[in-house]
């Protein structure tokens, strides 16, 4: 019988609830259990797709085309279980489902209310679309005490009652801060946070206490006493050097043991060798490479969460440390100064939207192309690379993207129709902005003998997409014959360019999809392995 674990957070945000959920998922998996991880977000957007990266960080895309919270990226990276649309929900989606049902007449006669209609819809979501999993882990976004999260807390409280203690477990993640003036770790914020949770009828079963130093036994006892818990259920979550150490650190503090004890499960000790290996390779690299990431949100690293991790995975595979040199694309525009790129062994332009900062991106690509520095363009970074080459090699001075308005040489243009399986998707400039991009996994066919095909070691791949514009195939001939660019990856119908590469360059590849979304520490993505390998080569030249 399936068991549900609910993870809430208290005191402050950013304590790493997503990583805690992902790490517990990995530990249960290492004990041989089948897990599924889900995120419930209290905000009113239907999904995070329309939010600015400054608001929300990266939008993580699933195979089945959902735009979701970046925590789903952690879930996949730690467990390898591909997330689905049914693993992510927001208040916006729940409310729109309930309101649509009301309009259909499904609740005819009833006054539609938060309890039971909204909470029922939340419970339905939690239980829907599961298979033979042993555990479903549900993370509740936000911090306990937020007005918006109340319906979610009420729904999980009800589920706790309905399914019973032997099927449900509540974990609460809090902070035990060090107060320098008192020279003490303080337990009061945790006590208050648990009181807040009790006020909505939830008694946590396990407390995970984030701290920057060891919590003394007396302080743990005090937390246990005030929060109605056995001291063994008060688990310290000490800061660690790398996120991949978290499963090991939690195991050392008996988290997985206590979870099994709660459910009365006898299980084998987990095999954590892969995590130890990852941490070892990460901690003792044999060298280092500098990779310039040229983007618009470089001061806000959450916007590039999966990218940062995928670069690290590429480093793990090559036994090197990857130092990311963040380059604000606008700063390259102003000064036309390449000094920020000079010590770099690779240049990467990641996904992006809008015209601001594009001049700097094109400048960086030109620099990498001319100086034979490995270049990796992802989505927008591929589109910008094609524009750079069209302008500076083909001599089409007005080459641009219609994303920035009308242009006489639309080398990148709006994607108006494409095939999803056998369904023809159609869009126009007036289409809704939410959920209307080309989203999710699509197959791509690789040209035999191309670098892409050598890297992937196969001729058909499937990668995740999130874009509204596409390289205009009308320019393909000219770019191939006159600029030495190869369109080495195409969509199934051979219409949409998916990968471009420059054989005369040591490593110059642009991809229309987001390979970073599928990279894992225990299975680094081939493109990132190859890119970092090229950067290592470059580092030996300079």
Shorter beta-carbon distance to ligand GLN: residue 67 or 196: 67
Whether residue 145 contacts residue 199, with contact meaning beta carbons closer than 8 Å, is answered with no
Residue 48 — φ and ψ, nearest 5°?
-80, 0
What is the C-alpha separation between 364 and 344, in angstroms, rounded? Answer: 11
User: Minimum CB separation from ligand GLN for residue 470, in Å?
Assistant: 7
Select the span of 29-37, 76-84, 124-132, 461-469 touching ligand GLN (CB under 6 A): 461-469
Interaction of residue 295 with ligand GLN, rule CB under 6 A? no
Is 246 in contact with 19 (CB distance < 8 Å)? yes
Residue choice 125, 469, 487, 531 for contact with ligand GLN (CB under 6 A): 469
Q: Is 50 helix (H, G, I), strand (E, B) or coil?
A: helix
* Residue number, 133 or 328, with CB nearest to ligand GLN: 328
Q: Which is nearer to ligand GLN, 246 or 307 (CB)?
A: 307
Binding mask 366-395 for ligand GLN (x = CB under 6 A): -------------xx---------------
Q: CB 445 → ligand GLN: shortest distance, Å?
A: 20
Among residues 67, 403, 463, 498, which is the contact residue for ligand GLN, using CB under 6 A?
Answer: 403
From 74, 172, 514, 525, active-site residue: 514
Comparing CB distances to ligand GLN, the nearer of 253 and 498 is: 498
CB of 379 to ligand GLN, least distance (A): 3
Smallest distance, Å, CB 466 to ligand GLN? 5
Q: Check 117, 209, 516, 525 and give the catalytic one.
A: 516
Contacting range for ligand GLN; rule: CB under 6 A; set: 28-36, 137-145, 299-307, 462-470: 462-470
Question: CB 429 → ligand GLN: shortest distance, Å?
Answer: 13
Least spacing, CB of residue 49 vs ligand GLN, in Å: 11
From the CB of 401, what's the least distance to ligand GLN, in Å?
Answer: 8
Minimum CB–partner distance for residue 112 and ligand GLN (Å): 37
In which order are the strands placed within the sheet that holds 35-41? 88-90, 35-41, 135-140, 3-9, 168-175, 206-211, 234-238
By the rule CB under 6 A, 60 interacts with ligand GLN = no
- For ligand GLN, the binding residues in 262-291 under the rule CB under 6 A are none
Element containing residue 9 per DSSP (H, E): strand 3-9
- Contacting ligand GLN (CB under 6 A), which of 468, 476, 478, 520? 468
Candidate ranges 8-16, 253-261, 364-372, 466-474; the one touching ligand GLN (CB under 6 A): 466-474
Beta strands in 163-303 (DSSP E): 168-175, 178-179, 184-185, 206-211, 234-238, 287-295
Q: Which long-range contacts (CB under 8 A, 24 or more apart) does 59-64 make?
A: 59/466, 60/305, 60/306, 60/517, 61/439, 61/440, 61/464, 61/465, 61/466, 61/514, 61/517, 62/87, 62/88, 62/440, 62/464, 63/440, 63/441, 63/462, 63/464, 64/440, 64/441
Q: Which of the ranges 1-9, 45-53, 238-246, 465-473 carries the binding residues for ligand GLN, by CB under 6 A?
A: 465-473
DSSP for 365-424, written as a single string: HHHHHHTT--EEEETHHHHHHHHHHHHHTS--TTEEEGGGS--SEEEEEE--EEEETTEE
Query: Is residue 466 involved in binding ligand GLN (CB under 6 A)?
Result: yes
Cα 71 to Cα 60: distance, rounded to the nearest angstrom: 8
Whichever of 143 and 519 has its CB closer to ligand GLN, that residue is 519
Q: How many residues at the interface with ligand GLN, by CB under 6 A?
A: 10
Closer residue to ligand GLN in complex, CB, 10/351:
351
Annotated active-site residue 516? The verdict is: yes
Q: Which one, 239 or 416, has the nearer CB to ligand GLN?
A: 416
What Rg, from alpha-carbon coordinates, does the chain have? 25
In angstroms, give the least distance from the CB of 138 to ligand GLN: 28
Q: What angle do CA 84, 59, 316 make, to 5 degrees?
A: 85
Q: Is 514 one of the annotated active-site residues of the chain?
A: yes
Q: Nearer to ligand GLN by C-beta: 138 or 368? A: 368
> Please, which residue, 36 or 467, has the CB nearer to ligand GLN?
467
- The answer to whether residues 499 and 527 touch, using CB atoms and an 8 Å cutoff, is no
| Bridge partners (DSSP) listed for residue 510 | 377, 500
By the rule CB under 6 A, 467 interacts with ligand GLN: yes
Is 58 a binding residue for ligand GLN by CB under 6 A? The answer is: no
Distance CA 35, CA 61 (A): 20
Find the catalytic residue in 257, 379, 403, 444.
379
Which residues are CB-neighbours of 486 under 8 A, at least 6 positions away?
Answer: 447, 450, 480, 500, 501, 502, 503
Beta pairing class for 508-511 and 497-501: antiparallel
Q: Which of residues 338-367 bind ligand GLN (CB under 6 A)?
A: 351-353
What is each CA distance from 84 to 154, 251, 279, 354, 418, in whole angstroms? 24, 27, 28, 28, 22
Dihedrals phi, psi of 538, to nearest 5 degrees: -60, -40
Residues that bind ligand GLN (CB under 6 A): 351-353, 379-380, 403, 466-469
Catalytic residues: 379, 514, 516
């Amino acid at each position: 019988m399936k068991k549900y674990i609910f993870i809430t957070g208290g005191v402050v945000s950013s304590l790493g609830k997503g990583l805690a959920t992902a790490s517990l998922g990995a530990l249960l998996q290492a004990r041989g259990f089948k897990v599924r991880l889900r995120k419930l977000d209290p905000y009113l957007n239907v999904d995070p797709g329309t939010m600015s990266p400054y608001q929300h960080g990266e939008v993580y895309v699933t195979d089945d085309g959902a735009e979701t919270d970046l925590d789903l990226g952690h879930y996949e990276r730690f467990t390898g279980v591909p997330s689905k649309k049914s693993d992510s929900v927001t208040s916006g989606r729940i409310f729109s489902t309930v309101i649509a049902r009301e309009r259909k007449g499904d609740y005819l006669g009833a006054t539609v209310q938060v309890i039971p209609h909204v909470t029922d819809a939340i419970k339905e979501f939690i239980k829907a679309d599961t298979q033979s999993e042993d555990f479903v882990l549900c993370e509740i976004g936000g911090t306990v005490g937020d007005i918006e999260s109340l319906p979610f807390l009420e729904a999980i409280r009800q589920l706790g009652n309905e399914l019973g203690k032997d099927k449900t477990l509540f974990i609460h993640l809090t902070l035990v801060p060090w107060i320098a003036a008192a020279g003490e770790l303080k337990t009061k914020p945790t006590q208050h946070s648990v009181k807040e949770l009790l006020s909505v009828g939830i008694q946590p079963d396990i407390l995970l206490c984030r701290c920057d130093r060891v919590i003394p036994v007396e302080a743990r006892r005090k937390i246990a006493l005030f929060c109605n818990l056995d001291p063994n259920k008060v688990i310290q979550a000490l800061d660690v050097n790398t996120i991949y150490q978290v499963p090991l650190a939690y195991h050392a503090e008996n988290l997985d043991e206590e979870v099994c004890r709660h459910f009365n499960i006898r299980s084998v000790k987990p095999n954590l060798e892969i995590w130890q290996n990852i941490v070892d390779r990460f901690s003792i690299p044999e060298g280092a490479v500098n990779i310039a990431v040229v983007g618009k949100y470089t001061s806000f690293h959450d916007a590039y969460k999966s990218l940062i991790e995928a670069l690290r995975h590429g480093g793990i595979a090559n036994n090197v440390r990857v130092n990311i040199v963040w380059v604000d694309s606008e700063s390259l525009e102003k000064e036309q100064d390449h000094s920020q790129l000079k010590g770099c062994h690779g240049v990467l332009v990641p996904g992006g939207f809008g015209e601001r900062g594009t001049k700097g991106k094109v400048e960086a690509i030109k620099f990498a192309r001319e100086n034979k520095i490995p270049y990796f363009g992802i989505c927008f970074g591929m589109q910008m690379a094609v524009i750079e080459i069209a302008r500076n090699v083909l001599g089409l001075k007005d080459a641009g993207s219609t994303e920035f308005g009308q242009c006489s040489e639309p080398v990148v243009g709006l994607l108006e129709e494409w095939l999803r399986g056998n369904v023809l998707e159609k869009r126009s400039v007036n289409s809704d902005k939410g959920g209307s991009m080309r989203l999710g996994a699509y197959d791509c066919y690789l040209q035999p003998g191309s670098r892409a095909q050598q890297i992937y070691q196969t001729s058909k791949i499937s990668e995740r997409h999130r874009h509204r514009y596409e390289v205009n195939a009308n320019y393909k001939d000219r770019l191939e014959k006159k600029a030495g660019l190869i369109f080495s990856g195409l969509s199934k119908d051979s219409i949409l360019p998916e990968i471009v590469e420059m054989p005369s360059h040591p490593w110059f590849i642009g991809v229309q999809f987001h390979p970073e979304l599928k990279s894992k520490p225990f299975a680094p993505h081939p493109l990132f392995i190859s890119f970092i390998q090229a950067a290592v080569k470059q580092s030996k030249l300079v």
